[in-house]
Amino acid sequence: MKSVLTYLLFLCFCVSSLTGFSQNSPTSSKRQEATFTVRGSVYDAEFSKPIPQVNIEVNGGAYTTTNSVGDFRIQVKKGDELVVKHKDFETVYYTIKDSERIKIVVRANEEGFQNAKKSQGITFNAAIDSAETYLKTDIEKSLQYITNALTASGSTNENSQVYELLGDVYVYWKQYDLAISNYRISLQSMDANSVKLKLAKAYWFNKNHQESIAVYNGVSSSDLSNWQQVVLHEGLGDTYFSIQDYQKALKAYNTALKAASKHNIKVKITDLNSKIAQVFSETGNENKAEDYFDNAMKLASKETESRAVEEKVKVADFKNRSQNFSDEIELRKQAIQDIQNIEIDSAIGVESPLTVQKQNYKIGNAYYLKKDYNSAKTYLEKSINEASAKNDLVVAKDAKRKLSEVYSSSGEYNKALETYKEYTDLVEALYIKKEQEIIQAARFSKEIAEKQNRITSLESDRQLSESKYQLTTERNKRQQLIIYSLIGGLLLLLITAYFMYKYIKQQRLANNLLALKSLRSQMNPHFIFNALNSVNSFIASNDERTANRYLSDFSQLMRSVLENSEADFIPLEKEIALLELYTKLEHFRFQDKFDYEINVADNVVVSDFQIPPMLLQPYIENAVWHGLRYKTTKGLLSIKIDKKSDTEITITISDTGIGRKRSKDLKTDNQKKHNSQGMSNIQKRVSILNDMYQDKVDVNISDFQDLEDAGTQVVVTLKKD
């Protein structure tokens, strides 16, 4: 009996942790309140002199300025963002990590840009080479040298090179929209197959799959080099794989592999064997997938150590999908040894799949699936320790949650509960970190867009100067040149408006996702408490068999609710199963008050429809608690799913209870003061989902019949995706 109650407490904690995610834990509150004084200084990079009267601000709160020797002190918390502003240099943003002294080195605003324009000695080739040198390390310097190259450019061919390189810079820094624009500008100056291939790849990165396919198909393979032919078909395969057209992806990869083998391009042979294996894996042909993965592993072992371990990890993932956990574990252990050897020579970022903490986590998960809980605990704890040491909150969070599941499965419910609490604390910390990353990414995109506009303006200015020169010698073209200038200005405005629109749209989507996360309903708390009271009464009356049966159904319902808690929509058949289980539990407690029926019309294909999880539960709960349980005679709860059209179905929840008016009249004064949040949250949730998914759900509530017990009828109209 004690273990039953402990398990119940664990289930309640899981639900409360998810439904009350935004509440601060005592640990997080203490962490938020811990402040300290940080000292710093601001220096000019060129003259190594301190800069006085610099504005220092912390997240719009604490404020100070630098003194005559450029020093400052300010109260901060770990994770705060320091904003450093001055009229003579661009704003600097710095995230506080600890209490160590900060030294901020800045450059005078616009100085480098103006010097570049005035520089007479720099050549086009030198500027291009310098831009390539800084491409992966310093985007600002790279863009500065690209500006210099554009200034020094003297032909359409050189212009094409500048914009191609500009596209390369934006691809590396994941600004794919800007990369696409610049590759297209490059192609306008000179039609080059190498740029077309890069443009197609940029479209793929930006998830413009049809545009990517169109560009690839528009390239004449007879004009390509051997390497470019392989890149072309490999790129086509990648795009078809992304849209799950596996037959075309396989054909493209095989064509690329044939060309790579013919011309002995070893690097691509390895990559293509691996990608073909992934196609077979996705299509369920595990034998062929294993053969190609074996080929890729053998070929990768002859290349660099990092490429070899990358392939081992891919094969380990394949072994996991095919439930060959023993081979998966062995491969990941080998991968860990290789990764540790690689880390001696070079650091591996936490975003890479080739990290020790990720491999330990996946080994722990494999042991968990094998039900070897002791080994699973060992590797999950290793993963947590390694992730904590490297500040990898994502892996630490996943490992904590998995460790909680392991403890629960092995019967250590107290440890499971404690570990799950640590997991929720990590979720909160990760949420704060991601929020800061989103802000920083938005700021980075804004700054890059401004630099792109500057480059565009420079090109426009140069073109305008040439136009003015031509006006002095060709007066008959004056009107045409004015029109071109106006069109250029209009295009610049349209580009700016496009980026502003995209930014606003992203912000709106982010706000909707946050609202959905806070409003996504789970089971009503008083149902959980009443269910626990029912179990308690069964136990008190020594009806242990009934208590166990009820508890089993209740646990199954809670587990299903938790599994679907993060999704906006789930398959309709899952929702029907949840409703059957929930209604069964309610009927179990009020057998003398109502009977129920759930009917799905024969012409309804439930697998074709998606529905927000637990959307219908509050209406069923209202029918039972506010309608049927007050009847003096036995009532009926009916749930019917009918086809309305080829793209719509209706879900009708009707009851023969006392009706909304009589239910309201029966409420006590105290009950009237309490506003139910369940129905309000459902309305808000439906509104947000309809805004995001174009009016997918419609709800209508009315009286069911014209009798004293009027009952209530809820009609939910659901559209197909």
Show which of 162, 191, 220 is a domain's final residue: 191
With beta carbons less than 8 A apart as the criterion, state whether 275 and 241 touch: yes
Amino acid at the residue 350: V
Do residues 645 and 711 both lie within one domain? yes
Q: Within a domain: residue 12?
A: no
Lowest-pLDDT range of 112-121, 254-263, 383-392: 112-121
CATH of residue 665's domain is 3.30.565.10
Residues 263-278 have a mean pLDDT of: 89
Amino acid at the residue 246: Y
Lowest-pLDDT range of 415-419, 561-565, 584-588: 561-565
pLDDT of 562 above 60: yes
Do residues 715 and 693 both lie within one domain? yes
pLDDT at 119: 42
CATH of residue 143's domain is 1.25.40
Do residues 618 and 690 both lie within one domain? yes
Q: Dihedrals φ, ψ of 385, to 5°?
A: -65, -45
pLDDT of 108 above 60: yes
Do residues 586 and 672 both lie within one domain? yes
Residues whose CB falls within 8 Å of the CB of residue 613, separated by 6 or more in sequence, listed in order: 520, 561, 564, 565, 567, 569, 570, 574, 575, 578
Sign of the Cα pseudo-torsion (137, 139, 141, 145, in order): positive
Do residues 93 and 127 both lie within one domain? no
Q: How confident is the model at residue 29 (pLDDT cuts 50, 70, 90)?
A: very low
Averaged pLDDT score across all residues of the chain: 79
Q: How confident is the model at residue 553 (pLDDT cuts 50, 70, 90)?
A: confident
pLDDT of 668 above 80: no
Do residues 706 and 679 both lie within one domain? yes
Do residues 100 and 124 both lie within one domain? no
603 versus 711: the higher-pLDDT residue is 603
Residues 645-664 have a mean pLDDT of: 84
Q: Within a domain: residue 338?
A: no
Give burial (CB, 10 Å; 0-12/13-18/19+) of 436.
Answer: middle
pLDDT of 506 above 90: no
Do residues 86 and 131 both lie within one domain? no
Q: Within a domain: residue 23?
A: no
Q: Within a domain: residue 526?
A: no
pLDDT at 19: 37
Q: How confident is the model at residue 250 (pLDDT cuts 50, 70, 90)?
A: very high
Do residues 594 and 508 both lie within one domain? no
Q: Within a domain: residue 87?
A: yes
pLDDT digits (tens, 9 = 90+) for 44-55: 876 667 888 888
Calpha distance 182→189 (Å, rounded): 11
* pTM for this entry: 0.49
pLDDT of 91 above 70: yes
The secondary structure of residue 120, as a DSSP letter, is S
pLDDT at 355: 86
pLDDT of 199 above 90: yes
Do residues 569 and 709 both lie within one domain? yes
The separation between the first and the last C-alpha atoms of the chain, rounded to the nearest angstrom, is 47
pLDDT of 262 above 50: yes
With beta carbons less than 8 A apart as the criterion, state whether 53 and 31 touch: no
pLDDT of 368 above 70: yes
pLDDT at 469: 53
Residues in the chain: 721
Q: How confident is the model at residue 515 (pLDDT cuts 50, 70, 90)?
A: low
Q: Within a domain: residue 347?
A: no
Residues whose CB falls within 8 Å of the CB of residue 388, separated by 6 or more in sequence, listed in order: 396
pLDDT digits (tens, 9 = 90+) for 145-196: 888 888 887 788 888 888 899 899 989 888 888 889 899 988 888 888 889 9
Lowest-pLDDT range of 200-209, 298-307, 430-439: 430-439
Q: Within a domain: residue 558?
A: no
Do residues 88 and 119 both lie within one domain? no
**Owner of token pair 């404020």:** 63
Show which of 191, 207, 231 is a domain's final residue: 191
Beta-bridge mates of residue 38 = 74
Question: Total structural domains in the chain?
Answer: 4
Show which of 132, 159, 191 is a domain's final residue: 191
Sign of the Cα pseudo-torsion (520, 525, 530, 532, in order): positive
Count of beta carbons in the 10 Å neighbourhood of residue 310? 21
* CA atoms within 13 Å, Cβ hemisphere of 682: 22
CATH of residue 91's domain is 2.60.40.1120
Q: Within a domain: residue 547?
A: no
> Which residue range(s) make up the domain with 187?
110-191
Do residues 105 and 163 both lie within one domain? no
Lowest-pLDDT range of 187-191, 671-675, 678-682: 671-675
The secondary structure element, H or E, covering residue 307 is helix 305-321
